Amino acid sequence: MVQETAKNKRKKNNLPLRLNILFLVVFLAFAGLILRLGYVQIVKGDYYKGLANASKTQSARIESARGRIVDTNHVTLADNKAELAIVFIRNAGISAQESLGYARKLANFLTVDADVIKKVSDHDKREYYILTKFKKLSSAYDKYLSPAEQKKYAKKQSKAYKLLLSRVPKSELKGYSKKDVQIMAIQHAFNQASNLSPYIIKRGLKVSDKEYINVVDHLSDFNGAIQTADVSSRTYIKNKPFYVGKMGPIPEDKITGYLAQGYSRNTDVGISYLEDQYESYLRGVPMTLTYDTEKGLPVGNPTVKDGTRGDDLQLTVDIRLQKKLDQVLEQNILSARSEGNGQNNSAYAVMMNPKTGAILAIGGKKYENGKFTDVSSDSITSQFEMGSAVKGATELIGFQHNAVPSQFHDMPINYRGTKKYFKSWEVSGLGTLTPETALQFSSNVFMAKIVSNMAGISLIPSGGEYIARTPYVTNPKFIKAINDLRNGYSQFGLGVKTGIDLPTEGTGYNGGMPDTPGVIHQYAIGQFDTYTPLEMAQYISTIANGGYRMQPHLLESVHEPESDGENLGNTVYQFEPKVLGTIGNSKHDLARVQHGLYLVTHGARGTGSVFREQGQKYKVAAKTGTAQIDEKDLSLYNETLVSYAPYDDPQVAISVVVPKVRAGHQNQQIALEMYKEYDKFYHYTSK
């Protein structure tokens, strides 16, 4: 009994303790709840209020005009033509019948263009038939689908609807009036629109147009689904340079990314070159249409917030030089053909500031079927065998590997055990040469001596020629020499991307490892790997500016839009010249090669005879090149040139490629004409 009493006493003593703990837990819970409520209402009140208000509205956006593209002198290359448009803005609550109703109303006020009508398909006609002949869609299903089919596709409405449309007899798709076709065309356009993504029904309207006025007067009839908008069409200068690019529908492989940035599916974007490269600058801030919602769906007319035009691009290009270059290329193609070069039908050239990498002009012309077409893009994407124009780089690579002889006698090289010879253009040889005169006279054999020293090839004098003792192509020293050459050329931008600010560019063709050792001699004179004209411009610029490989660029600066649409606004971004790398040569090495390039155009019997005879005033340093391109026809070659001027303070570098010629100096003539034109505008010879 005593034990039971003790137990009961302990239970009574524990009960108040448990109740106190329970009360404490409840108190703390309520205290936490009150604190949280206070935090939400006071600290975060404005934030959550904004979220609540946001849930009561939905927005659509209409693209504003793009930024302009101008050349270095502010000449407009790409602009906008302002126009008014009628747009449809779909929301998820619009039924097919409502959409048809809007299409009928809109057809009373405007006529869509012929290209819109052409898009009307059998599918559109079948759908129009169903929507106009049956008040309820269920009635159409009852007529054209059996009960079993309806049951089968009860949970697959899209398949059921597709089957329904297919059952509409073809006889019912005939005899539609012009008004019916207009309605179908508008309905077709409506069907292309995504939810709250404005879709243009008709553009090119003016404020005074009757169609525009009628739509404006009846906007309230469409419950916000039809709106007017200020839009623009992209316009370009006549014969615009390729690098400006063009506009077009968003590519399928990029649609997801663009949608994530707030673009509509039917928005035109930059799809090539600078229009594509600088889309983020050129795109304006869209106009915003904000709708109130009921039950999560937009209703009524929206509140409109105007957008702003995109930023303007100023390029490094001088359109005066660009036009002249196009003209000079055409003239010289015709001149070459008149001199018996019937296979020549194209020419390419690049002008570049060697100190900054700024592109001044890029040209390419092709003559086919009696007329010229612009192929300027080939100057950055297509590769050519460049021949002796690369010899400046060959010598500098040789200097890096202590492989350049101070003097060497030029005479033919005989590959032991074969009947093949390697020789310079003067069959009997060019005599004893230094690195400078080897460039002046364009010695093949001197370049062969450089790479022979690198590759372990012995050239043994024997009766007016050299006998070449060559290692196997698997010899480590030979393999290293090929790799050293390729790596060396890449220091100048040959065989690698130049880094130009365009979405795509070529890198030329890498010939890999030669099958026979003598090929290394061909490699040294530009007849193994291939390069683009742009790479050649970067290469000669690297020599001209003292050894810095500069990134070629077309963008000079980005500017805020000015209200007058003509002047440039505040600078948003200024392109800073970028050094991509430096070559591994001393100033002394560079000076020797630069002097050799000077002798090409100023020394007696230098291969730059056109400059020596006609262009001394323009102070050009250069290297000419001829690359044989057909083993069965050695008189057919690519005629090339790299150059810069003035040689004592370079301002401009020019590379030229004239494929498939047999005679003449079109490479030099093209460059000389462009130096004359550059001097006419920038007066460097008078300084």
Each residue's pLDDT tens digit, 429-454: 999 999 999 999 999 999 999 999 99
Q: What one-character-per-residue DSSP string does 163-213 give?
A: HHHHTS-GGGGS---HHHHHHHHHHHHHHTPPBT--EEEEEEE-TT-HHHH
CB 345 within 8 A of CB 367: yes
Decide: helix, strand or coil at residue 469: strand
User: What is the arrangement of strands in the sheet containing 346-352, beginning at the earlier edge strand?
Assistant: 371-374, 359-368, 346-352, 652-661, 637-645, 621-628
pLDDT band at 556 (very low <50, low <70, confident <90, very high): very high
pLDDT at 622: 98
CATH 1.10.3720.10 is held by the domain 93-194 = no
Class in CATH terms, 322-547+583-682:
alpha beta
pLDDT at 12: 53
Give per-residue pLDDT as tens, 343-388: 999 999 999 999 999 999 999 999 999 999 999 999 999 999 999 9
pLDDT band at 483 (very low <50, low <70, confident <90, very high): very high
Decide: helix, strand or coil at residue 474: coil
Q: Provide the annotated active-site residues.
A: 388
pLDDT at 38: 66
- Residue 111 pLDDT exceeds 80: yes
Q: What is the mean pLDDT of residues 275-304?
A: 86
Among 463, 400, 408, residue whose Cα is nearest residue 441: 408
Give per-residue pLDDT as tens, 205-262: 999 999 999 999 999 899 888 988 888 889 999 999 999 999 999 999 999 999 888 8
pLDDT at 262: 84
CA distance 326 to 102: 52
Question: What distances in angstroms separate CA 510 from CA 225, 478, 496, one per listed residue?
Answer: 58, 17, 10
CB 643 within 8 A of CB 540: yes
Token pair 């291939």 is found at 530
Q: Where are the alpha helices (DSSP H) in 39-156?
A: 45-54, 96-107, 114-117, 122-133, 137-144, 147-152
CB atoms closer than 10 angstroms to residue 272: 18
Between 616 and 229, the higher pLDDT residue: 616
pLDDT at 486: 97
Question: What distances in angstroms separate CA 422 from CA 24, 383, 515, 613, one per listed residue?
Answer: 102, 24, 17, 30
Between 318 and 628, the higher pLDDT residue: 318
pLDDT at 287: 82
pLDDT at 47: 58
Percent of the chain at pLDDT above 70?
A: 94
Q: What is the mean pLDDT of residues 154-175?
A: 90
Considering the chain, tell me which residue range(s) the CATH 1.10.10.1230 domain(s) occupy: 93-194
- Residue 265 pLDDT exceeds 80: no
pLDDT at 92: 74
- Residue 565 pLDDT exceeds 80: no
Token pair 């007329």 is found at 371
Q: What is the mean pLDDT of residues 135-144?
A: 91
Token pair 């803005």 is found at 89
Among 621, 610, 615, residue whose Cα is nearest residue 676: 615
Considering the chain, tell me which residue range(s) the CATH 3.40.710.10 domain(s) occupy: 322-547+583-682
Average pLDDT value over all residues in the chain: 91
